[in-house]
Amino acid sequence: MSTRRPPVDADIASRARATVKPGVYTLLPQANRVPSVLPNFSGASAQVLAAPQLGARFVEHELLIRPGGGSLGPICDGFEHFLFVLEGGVTLRMEAAEHQLCEGGYSWLPPERAYELKNQTDSQTRVIWLRRRYASAEGLQVPDAIVSNERDIPAVPEDTYLEQHLIPYENPAFDLAFNLLNFEPGTCFGYVESHIMEHGLYMLAGRGIYWLNGDYHEVQANDFIFMAAYCPQYFYATGWDRARYLLYKDVNRDYTQGL
């Protein structure tokens, strides 16, 4: 029997950046994530990035789907779903329609919309998958599904950076936002934010310093951060390249649900 040995020159501090501050924030670097097996998939594993166990009101996974792998039949669990392809490609089958999502491709699916996922490429595919209970609002119809690619979404100025709104911001029927935030090196937020919305943040590129409730963390591509409601937050982009992250946020509701 052979066991895997870590490199002898790697110190524990650089290998263990994972930080959990219950009820405030969690930093989960890729190197510290452990795969789970999901019951309704084959040829795939998942890293659970955020879940109610952390205090989150949503579940976010990074799905790692091997060639030929995917869901074992239709996925339909009553939640709204959001998918974003980080790497590789995946086939999304919805009723009669089939969509090929390549890197940067994404989809929002309303509750009760059944779909199947399959990796028909010859390399591993990595997909961000978020699910939550859709919060309906009186007089607003549940929107139809969205299938698109971030390359087709314009970047608009916001505070000190450029933002792409993957879910239409102007439509209050959506109870969530997924935005891509793009920072030139050396840029930082214009102010410290503290707000009721939760965040699931996935670093896509570049480096930076995230300031979270008084703690400084250096962050890099593939890091995940969960920010609980009101967690004070501030970002500085460092390094030579643009920093970029995918950000989930709950929006457009008055938070009386659950009172």
Side chain identity, residue 204: L
Q: Are strands 233-238 and 97-101 parallel, antiparallel or unpaired?
A: unpaired
- If contact means CB under 5 to 8 A according to the sort of partner, which of Mn ion, ligand UGY, none does residue 101 touch? none
Give yes or no for residue 181 binding ligand UGY (CB under 6 A): yes
- If contact means CB under 5 to 8 A according to the sort of partner, which of ligand UGY, Mn ion, none does residue 247 touch? ligand UGY
> What's the CA gap between 193 and 175, in Å, rounded?
20
Give yes or no for residue 244 binding ligand UGY (CB under 6 A): no
Other CB atoms within a 10 A radius of the CB of residue 120 amount to 14
Give yes or no for residue 193 binding Mn ion (CB under 5 A): yes
Provide CB contacts within 8 A for 13, sequence distance 6+.
none
Q: 12 by DSSP, 3-state: which?
A: helix
Give yes or no for residue 249 binding ligand UGY (CB under 6 A): yes
Other CB atoms within a 10 A radius of the CB of residue 73 amount to 9
Side chain identity, residue 55: G
Q: Which residues pair with 250 in a beta bridge?
A: 176
Please, what is the minimum distance in Å from the beta carbon of residue 199 to Mn ion? 6
Choose the stretch contacting Mn ion; rule: CB under 5 A; options: 12-20, 155-163, 165-173, 187-195.
Answer: 187-195
Structure tokens at 244: 């970029």
Give yes or no for residue 212 binding ligand UGY (CB under 6 A): no
Give yes or no for residue 199 binding ligand UGY (CB under 6 A): yes
Nearer to Mn ion, 179 or 238 (CB): 179
Please, what is the minimum distance in Å from the beta carbon of residue 127 to ligand UGY? 22
Nearer to ligand UGY, 79 or 230 (CB): 230
The strand ranges marked E within 174-259 are: 176-183, 199-205, 207-212, 215-220, 224-227, 233-238, 243-250
Nearer to ligand UGY, 164 or 233 (CB): 233
Give yes or no for residue 116 binding Mn ion (CB under 5 A): no
Nearest to 252 by CA among 194, 177, 181, 178: 177
Q: How many residues bind Mn ion (CB under 5 A)?
A: 1
Please, what is the minimum distance in Å from the beta carbon of residue 16 to Mn ion? 26
Nearest to 90 by CA among 41, 49, 51, 50: 41
Please, what is the minimum distance in Å from the beta carbon of residue 210 to ligand UGY? 8
- If contact means CB under 5 to 8 A according to the sort of partner, which of Mn ion, ligand UGY, none does residue 117 touch? none
Report the interface residues with Mn ion, using CB under 5 A.
Answer: 193
Report the interface residues with ligand UGY, using CB under 6 A.
Answer: 181, 193, 199, 233, 247, 249
